[in-house]
Amino acid sequence: MTKSPKLRDKPVDAPRAAARDTLRAVRERDAYANLVLPKMLRERRITGRDAALATELAYGAARAEGLLDAVISAAANRPVAEIDGNVLDVLRLGTYQLLRTRIGAHAAVSTSVDLIRSEMGMGPSGFVNAVLRKVSQRDEDLWIDELAPSMADDLIGNLAFRYAHPRWIAEVFDEALGGSAGQLQAALAADDDRPPVHLVARPGLITAEELALASGGDVGRYSPYCVYLPGGDPGDLEAVRDGYAGVQDEGSQLVGRALTVADVADDTGRWLDMCAGPGGKAALVAAIADIDGAHLDAIEISEHRADLIRKVVRDLPVDVHVADARSCGLEPGFDRILLDAPCSGLGSLRRRPEARWRRRPDDVAELVVLQRELLTEALRLVKPGGVVIYSTCSPHPAETVGVVAAVLAEVPDAEQIDARPLVPADHLGDGPHVQLWPHIHGTDAMFLAALRRR
Ligand SMILES: C[S@@+](CC[C@H](N)C(=O)[O-])C[C@H]1O[C@@H](n2cnc3c(N)ncnc32)[C@H](O)[C@@H]1O
């Protein structure tokens, strides 16, 4: 039977189908949206404005999942766990468009209905249509007013809901920010935004000024190697393709640089990166080591990640070791050691769209044990007078100041030194550690502490 013109399937639009398939991969396979989508865009030859739309929708909907689900559940009058997964992906995309983009309500609803009808037929498409129409009756603020805990009763709960963070993460940020509600609001808002793209100009190969000219970007505020890219795909830049530049958050650049500028008497040029994969900081440190006549040993436990390091440190004075850094077998006596420890990643949630909804508070306790062991070993491997930079891309106090305090209590000949002079940024607080923030510095929320063996 031929369908009537009204019922005939419309072709689904490619960017929204890619966004839906990304959300599905995240939900079904625990995939990382920022790995799945770029590959899908290449394979499906989706480029330009269409690629930008798919990215905005997929990453935006993944980032806002908790908020979207609360609204969908209210509009559908049932918990989202009772909604078929494939239908839920389309509802999330549609709700995201309605609440958080300028896409008109008609287009947001009808494209969602088309997406579901092409796969699942009329029944589910009627449900999607009904739910999204209900969602479209209010804007985001009205939904928040209706569904979030009140500011007066539960400020953290309200802000967590409003800026699409699980409550426990908002609590961690609150603790790290010292309980300032204004700071917490700004931090969550910045974390809920699309992240900027930062490039690193590899020392000795290109300057930040040259890279800014070549890329149409602006030189960074703090890192002498940083360029802010206003838009576009960094992979299209010749400097990135040729390895003169890479994509790296400015906060990470500041951590790598801090290792190289700390005072170390009689630096013999033995430098170590204890947890180096995939090699972002190792590449920067090694480029500076090359200029300074030093050598970097880079340890990484995962073979695959060690391969990634080898790719980015080609031609630089680096030895890559696949080992557990707690028992790597290298001779002690290093002048400078970077321990960029495995961590919860709560400081770079804006770059990994779905991560905030995947992490669990319990993840942290196990990581803290590993972080302490690694830092203790770093202090054994560094020479007296040498420096250890301990860093995390997390502001979680248990992973940052907690680890440093616990290890210092156990290692009597180690001391913490002021890390602030090693970081050319403002608003660095009372020290001695440095905690960067997206809402203050525009960087990921990187933490670093500087320790010395007496
Ligand atoms: C935060 S990442 C490091 C990021 C890296 N410094 C960069 O800038 O690209 C932590 C790394 O430590 C590795 N790792 C975890 N446990 C380790 C261990 N016991 N020994 C060595 N590496 C480890 C992880 O595989 C991961 O690649």
In 3D space, the residue among 24, 81, 108 whose CA is nearest the CA of residue 58 turns out to be 24
Asked if the ipTM is above 0.95, the reply is: yes
**Are both 182 and 166 inside the same structural domain?**
yes
Q: What is the largest CA-CA distance in the chain?
A: 85
| Domain total of the chain | 4
Q: What amino acid positions are annotated as catalytic residues?
A: 393
Domain annotation covers residue 74: yes
Q: Is the CB of 36 under 6 A from ligand 1?
A: no
**Are both 119 and 205 inside the same structural domain?**
no
Domain annotation covers residue 104: yes
Domain annotation covers residue 147: no
**Are both 231 and 281 inside the same structural domain?**
no
Whether the Cβ atoms of residue 260 and residue 282 lie closer than 8 Å to each other:
no
Return d(Cα 448, Cα 258) in angstroms, integer.
Answer: 9
**Are both 57 and 175 inside the same structural domain?**
no
**Are both 95 and 238 inside the same structural domain?**
no
In this prediction, residue 1 carries a pLDDT of 37
| pLDDT, tens only, 27-82 | 999 999 999 999 999 999 999 999 999 999 999 999 999 999 999 999 999 999 99
* Residue owning the nearest CA to atom 6 of ligand 1: 276
Residues annotated in a binding site for S-adenosyl-L-methionine: 275-281, 300, 324, 340
**Are both 135 and 119 inside the same structural domain?**
yes
β partners of residue 226: 200
**Are both 213 and 78 inside the same structural domain?**
no
| C-alpha 324 – ligand 1 centre gap (Å) | 10
* Residue owning the nearest CA to atom 26 of ligand 1: 277
Domain annotation covers residue 357: yes
Tens of pLDDT along the chain (454 residues)?
334 444 445 567 999 999 999 999 999 999 999 999 999 999 999 999 999 999 999 999 999 999 999 999 999 999 999 999 999 999 999 999 999 999 999 999 999 999 999 888 788 999 999 999 999 999 999 999 999 999 999 999 999 999 999 999 999 999 999 999 999 999 999 999 989 999 999 999 999 999 999 999 999 999 999 999 998 889 889 999 999 999 999 999 999 999 999 999 999 999 999 999 999 999 999 999 999 999 999 999 999 999 999 999 989 999 999 999 999 999 999 999 999 999 999 999 999 999 999 999 999 999 999 999 999 999 999 999 999 999 999 999 999 999 999 999 999 999 999 999 999 999 999 999 999 999 999 999 999 999 999 9
Report how far apart the first and last C-alpha atoms of the chain are (Å, whole number): 85
Return d(Cα 423, Cα 221) in angstroms, integer.
Answer: 12
Ligand 1 atom at minimum distance from 299 CA:
21
Domain annotation covers residue 8: no
Q: Residue 243's domain spans which residues?
A: 197-247
**Are both 259 and 216 inside the same structural domain?**
no
For residue 303, the domain's CATH number is 3.40.50.150
In the predicted model, what is the mean pLDDT of the chain? 95
**Are both 292 and 229 inside the same structural domain?**
no
| pLDDT, tens only, 116-136 | 998 887 889 999 999 999 999
**Are both 168 and 311 inside the same structural domain?**
no
Domain annotation covers residue 2: no
| C-alpha 384 – ligand 1 centre gap (Å) | 25
Domain annotation covers residue 9: no
Return d(Cα 404, Cα 397) in angstroms, integer.
Answer: 10
In 3D space, the residue among 92, 85, 175, 126 whose CA is nearest the CA of residue 361 turns out to be 175
Whether the Cβ atoms of residue 367 and residue 419 lie closer than 8 Å to each other:
no
**Are both 123 and 226 inside the same structural domain?**
no
What 98-105 contacts at long range (C-beta under 8 Å, 24+ apart), as own/partner pairs, is 98/132, 98/135, 98/136, 99/67, 99/68, 99/71, 99/135, 99/139, 99/140, 99/143, 100/60, 100/64, 100/140, 101/56, 101/57, 101/60, 105/136
Ligand 1 atom at minimum distance from 302 CA:
25
**Are both 341 and 359 inside the same structural domain?**
yes
Phi, psi of 317, rounded to the nearest 5 degrees: -80, 80
| pLDDT, tens only, 155-207 | 999 999 999 999 999 999 999 999 999 999 999 999 999 899 999 999 999 99
Q: Is the CB of 321 under 6 A from ligand 1?
A: no
For residue 23, the domain's CATH number is 1.10.940.10
Ligand 1 atom at minimum distance from 325 CA:
20
In this prediction, residue 11 carries a pLDDT of 65
